[in-house]
Amino acid sequence: MVDFRIESVATEADIQGYLQRYRALQLQSKIYDSLNRKPQRRTVPSDQIIAALKAELDWWEKENIPTHNSKGLVESELSMGKMLLYRPCRIVPERSVEENMELWTASLGFLATYRQLVESNRIFYVQIASEKTYWAGLAILHSFWRVHSLSLSGEEVARRAAIVRQTDLWKAIQDVMFILRTLSERWEDGRILAKQFEKTSTFAIAVAENGRNGLSDTLRVPREIQTFGTYVSMTSIRASKERDGLIQRDLDLQQFVARMVEI
């Protein structure tokens, strides 16, 4: 008699990696929900909420050292958690210089890790990965803009020069474009995100080439960057417009959707 059994091909290390990512996603959800509640009277101050969430994220990072097989995926989820923690949100619509630098650093880490995952063909959910990459690209551009437009102390200027470097900006833009173009080979609508980001990222080049702390008085910041805190995925709408030859700005609709979510 033949002993017929169905066995899982997942190793113990694989399962551990899945659990680590699952817990990271749970923490991301908690961060998002905590920072996007409607402000109410007699609630915990926003700085205390952020500090508590950061402590949870730091604890998770310390206690969840990824295995070799899951290293890239787990690190990308950790970076995503930090991006959610420091992005503009409902309870903190205007972030400090320090927080924007944290957003910048987390976004750089996410994109560098994600590029490695794409190069090694370890991305399975292509649409989600494309949206995450586009969002991380907007985070890079938003934090770059804010750090160069806010009033800085002498110490902050020095930190900006050390942390927010133009060479890292160019590298991040290249990473976003590489990821989106590569994934668009498996998801056609990803080309729309690539085209949109290429258009938006030209702003960063203009910032770098203009004076007065890298920002000129006449430079117009794209609305995608200004409204980064309320970004809503509109890939399907952009795709239908492109197929119909009716490409136009959909940011008004995007803002409408964002307002509806807040009701």
Q: Are 85 and 137 in contact (CB under 8 A)?
A: no
Q: List strand residue ranges (DSSP E) for 54-184, in order.
A: none
Instruction: State the Cα–Cα distance between residues 192 and 184, nearest whole angstrom.
Output: 9
Instruction: State the Cα–Cα distance between residues 23 and 240, nearest whole angstrom.
Output: 35
From first to last of the 263 residues of the chain, give the pLDDT tens digit.
444 444 456 677 667 767 777 888 889 889 999 998 876 665 788 889 999 999 999 998 888 776 656 677 788 888 999 999 999 998 888 998 899 999 999 999 999 999 999 999 888 888 889 999 999 999 999 998 888 877 777 777 777 778 888 889 989 999 999 999 999 998 888 888 899 899 888 877 776 666 444 454 445 778 888 888 887 664 444 444 444 443 444 444 445 444 444 43
Q: What is the DSSP string of 15-48?
A: HHHHHHHHHHHHHHHHHHHHHSSPP-TTPPPHHH
Instruction: State the pTM of this model.
Output: 0.79
Q: What is the DSSP-derived secondary structure letter of residue 67?
A: P
Residue with the two structure tokens 């080049």: 205
According to the model, what pLDDT value does residue 244 have?
44
According to the model, what pLDDT value does residue 253 have?
44
* 16 Cα distance to chain centroid: 25
According to the model, what pLDDT value does residue 68 have?
58
Q: Are 143 and 183 in contact (CB under 8 A)?
A: no
Helix, coil or strand: residue 219: coil
According to the model, what pLDDT value does residue 208 have?
62
List C-alpha distances in Å: 184 to 4, 84, 153.
41, 25, 43
Helix, coil or strand: residue 232: coil
Q: Are 195 and 133 in contact (CB under 8 A)?
A: no
Instruction: Give the residue from 226, 228, 232, 229 showing the smallest Cα distance to 260.
Output: 232
Q: What are the percentages of helix, strand and coil residues in the chain, rounded to 5?
A: 70, 0, 30
Instruction: State the Cα–Cα distance between residues 182 and 120, nearest whole angstrom.
Output: 12
Instruction: State the Cα–Cα distance between residues 149 and 143, nearest whole angstrom.
Output: 10
For 263, the token pair is: 């009701």
For 227, the token pair is: 């409204």
Instruction: State the Cα–Cα distance between residues 131 and 24, nearest whole angstrom.
Output: 18
According to the model, what pLDDT value does residue 186 have?
87
Other beta carbons within 10 Å of 202: 12
According to the model, what pLDDT value does residue 102 have?
94
According to the model, what pLDDT value does residue 256 have?
45
According to the model, what pLDDT value does residue 247 have?
41
Instruction: Give the residue from 204, 92, 90, 229 showing the smallest Cα distance to 148.
Output: 204
